[in-house]
Structure 1
């Protein structure tokens, strides 16, 4: 019995030494070293489900492996979390936004997200379940608009361009409700952009972001009373990263794939109703 105790103690001591040595050498462990950010690790990209997640998943399933890229797509139903998740490192890149939104977010939140590559434009549209044409809007009607600064200004500009309201001279996409000089008897409901499609029946008309229109089975070319022009549109959606990660080889591979002929064909086939339009090219920081 005494010999058994001695042997057991010796084995335990040896095991402790082995574990201690292993702990000290952990940084050189190949499994640990190949974690997030390593050139051969999966690139984790956060995205809105539609169309951004659709496009990324097409790349993941059809193009990434051949390009030597392992891609992981994380979809966020609440797009307000995506830049923060990228800043914190919960995801390494994101794909959901346009430049005016990003500039406003970085300024207000102190984040350091930068655009990498433009991919597409989602024309903003005015929709209604009660009206069949734009001329049907009358005094006393309520129009819902997104309540975030960039999309509200964009919505008001669309309404002004179509003669629904008038804005102060010189005010464009940065407009606020205080810049409306002639509401023509209209009322405005400011709502969070993702909520607007579900509230469409509660108002007379609503300005809906392209991705949320798609997700609600609205077809811009068929259903919109008014639709933003795609030509020279400053609201191209792009791949973005935290500053300093622009030259990550994995990011550059994904940027190239997102601007490929295959992705252009995928967008045109899946979103042939004009809700998503390719807008390839480097994004302006």
Structure 2
């Protein structure tokens, strides 16, 4: 039979263990609650991260701490969200997201559009897209989801035509049926390197995504020789995992980004039209 002293000792140990377990459970619950109030968004530096920085104090008033992680490529942000290392990302448009999901067996979803960055064509040699000579070489990004976007710049300026029935968003180089000047679009340079291509004066012109142009202090409106119009279907969105799309913090994030304060911020900061609120 166990003596009283031993029983008392065992009892104290048991109570202590229960107390530690209770404390541990409380700390875990506290951490979980804290995580629900933190929002980690992976974003391109400009204008995405700039817009998110403007959203921070607004979200703070709503009880959320927004953390912005800057990544300047078009693959890593989706991987981080898909793997659960970030809550959301902000850098891409619907055509790119759809293609990325299909090619990488992922299932990220959009919870809403925020802004449009009109894509533009830049040249150190010519003042207008219509000044491009015969056999002009135009460098564009390797992003296959934007080939139709590149082509549409030339179609809308009367320099190319695509097959009847082909949606401009889905158009590929093989769909060009008229190209009187035989303009060569070279899709062989990573999007983040196109500013360098332009600075090195390679080719006759370079098509650059506005986030990279803005980051390099280029104005898509003032410095380009052709600019996408405001009816572009390539609005930049917030992407998340399907399980998170209805979470309270994601709802709070998109509500702020689509709200009047941020829309006004976009209009005021990018007065030249290089970034415009999504419709």
Q: Structure 1 length normalisation: TM-score?
A: 0.84
What is the deviation of 1:237? 0.9
Deviates more, 1:209-218 or 1:30-39: 30-39
- Aligned mates of 1:37, 1:159 — CA distance in 2: 52
Runs of 4+ aligned structure 1 residues displaced above 3 Å come to 24-41
Q: 1:58 to 1:21 in 2, by over 3 A?
A: same
2:171 equivalent in structure 1: 175
Q: Deviations over 1:252-273 (max 9, x none)?
A: 1111110121111211111111
Question: Match of 2:139, SS?
Answer: strand
1:195 equivalent in structure 2: 193
Match for 2:128 among 129, 133, 140? 133
- Aligned mates of 1:205, 1:272 — CA distance in 2: 25
Match for 1:54 among 50, 55, 64? 50
Unaligned ranges ≥5, structure 2: 1-9
Q: Indicate if the aligned counterparts of 2:37 and 2:63 stay in contact, CA closer than 8 A.
A: no
Q: 1:220 to 1:92 in 2, by over 3 A?
A: same
Paired residues in the alignment total 262
What is the deviation of 1:98? 0.8
Q: Indicate if the aligned counterparts of 2:95 and 2:145 stay in contact, CA closer than 8 A.
A: yes
What is the deviation of 1:58? 1.0
2:278 equivalent in structure 1: 279
Indicate yes or no: 2:43 matched with 1:43.
no
What is the deviation of 1:206? 1.4
1:266 equivalent in structure 2: 265
1:7 equivalent in structure 2: none
Indicate yes or no: 2:254 matched with 1:255.
yes
Q: Deviations over 1:198-218 (max 9, x none)?
A: 101212111111211211211
What is the deviation of 1:33? 3.5
Question: Match of 2:89, SS?
Answer: strand
2:224 equivalent in structure 1: 224
- Aligned mates of 1:215, 1:134 — CA distance in 2: 23
2:212 equivalent in structure 1: 212
Q: Deviations over 1:144-199 (max 9, x none)?
A: 12221111221112212212223222221212222223342222321221111110
Question: Match of 2:59, SS?
Answer: coil
Q: 1:36 to 1:131 in 2, by over 3 A?
A: farther
2:97 equivalent in structure 1: 102
What is the deviation of 1:48? 0.8
- Aligned mates of 1:71, 1:30 — CA distance in 2: 24
RMSD (Å) for aligned C-alpha atoms? 2.4
Q: Indicate if the aligned counterparts of 1:127 and 1:205 stay in contact, CA closer than 8 A.
A: yes
- Aligned mates of 1:180, 1:105 — CA distance in 2: 24
